[in-house]
Amino acid sequence: MAHTLEDTIALLSRTPAAFDALLHDLPEIWTSRNEGADTWSAFDVIGHLLHGERTDWMPRVKVILQHGESRTFDLFDRLGQVRETQGKSLGQLLHEFSRLRAENLGELRALHLEPEDLQRRGRHPALGVVTLSQLLATWAAHDLTHLHQISRVMAHQYWQAVGPWSAYLGVLKCDGHSSP
Amino acid sequence: MAHTLEDTIALLSRTPAAFDALLHDLPEIWTSRNEGADTWSAFDVIGHLLHGERTDWMPRVKVILQHGESRTFDLFDRLGQVRETQGKSLGQLLHEFSRLRAENLGELRALHLEPEDLQRRGRHPALGVVTLSQLLATWAAHDLTHLHQISRVMAHQYWQAVGPWSAYLGVLKCDGHSSP
């Protein structure tokens, strides 16, 4: 099942503004709280997205284009956002995420990838051979998995406050959690 | 577990802009497709939110304040968005949702509810006795359950495109679906 670069870029270009509209200046009950020990708050998730923007997606695109399957991707440091977020406000992280995303999409567009380029292959340290097409589709789906996560983490803060309505709210029953 | 009216209004006032930033002018692959028979697309969900804004939340607030437990809420017509959305574009629905939400929050603020008002009770046709506090918290959590749903419906469109990365994307494993 193919995806088009246009559809992928259209989504990637909108998600930073969506996160910003949702989270900017929101009270801390929504942005700083998590789902319990060893889980992430909305703040942590934005730090993770920012770190990925710096170290994951476009660097891997370049590894595929330059080295193909011969060079395994660097491991993504899932705790990199701890360094990324130290001493910063959520507003700063959101702004930085938007800026880096715009830069990265500018670089991606400048590559003028053709459909046949999307079939080029790289090597993931755990998943093995993957295509550039799969990497780019995952970049977009990764935004969505974290929007999904943030909406769940935020709803969790109200699971008692909603009283009996919790029975109707699917978000309170979600266990579709991403890998750590 | 209490919630504060300020926190609830802060969220309710931001979600329309978040949906708009995410969905406005996005290609139809993201907005018109659903998860299969008898499921909703992002377009359908925004229609549902718009319909709720018109017929559900503030009307129920008023029933509680005027009639307490003596008058059961009207049933919410979960298919009301079919009428609501006919002949309209997603852009129109998003705009109308933002406008109605702002109007409703204006009305809510004008009630100058005090903490003791939040303990007033009403009667839900299926759930029985509920409080105004629970109704207002549910209004906010309901936005989040549908943001959660939309992110899942959108990610579903790429479940094949991401290839082996599907193993890492929690959103593709979510079964935290709301009641129909």
Give the ipTM. 0.95
Q: Which residue of A has its CA nearest to B123?
A: A164
Whether residue A1 and residue B160 make contact (CB cut-off 8 A), yes or no, is yes
Tokens of A108: 């991606």
Model confidence over B17-38: pLDDT tens digits? 999 999 999 999 999 999 999 9
A73 pLDDT band, cuts 50/70/90, is very high
Q: Which of B98, B144, B166, B179 is the best mutation test for A, with the most CBs of A within 10 A?
A: B144
| Min Cα–Cα distance to chain B from A64, Å | 16
Report pTM: 0.95
The per-residue DSSP string of chain A comes to ----HHHHHHHHHHHHHHHHHHHTT--HHHHT--SSTT---HHHHHHHHHHHHHHTHHHHHHHHHHHGGGSBPPPP-TTHHHHHHTT--HHHHHHHHHHHHHHHHHHHHHT---TTGGG-EEEETTTEEEEHHHHHHHHHHHHHHHHHHHHHHHHHTTTTTTGGGGGG-GGGG---PPP-
Q: With beta carbons under 8 A apart, name residues in chain B contacting A168.
A: 178-179
A160 contact B CB<8A: yes
Model confidence over B99-115: pLDDT tens digits? 999 999 999 999 999 99
The confidence score (pLDDT) of residue B178 equals 60
Whether residue A178 and residue B170 make contact (CB cut-off 8 A), yes or no, is yes
A79 pLDDT band, cuts 50/70/90, is confident
Which runs of E-coded beta strand occur in B36-169? Answer: 121-124, 128-131
Average pLDDT score over chain B: 93
Q: Which of A14, A142, A161 sits opposite B133 (nearest CB)?
A: A161
A175 pLDDT band, cuts 50/70/90, is confident
The confidence score (pLDDT) of residue B180 equals 42
Model confidence over A136-173: pLDDT tens digits? 999 999 999 999 999 999 999 999 999 999 999 999 98
Say whether pLDDT at B1 is over 60. no
A17 contact B CB<8A: yes
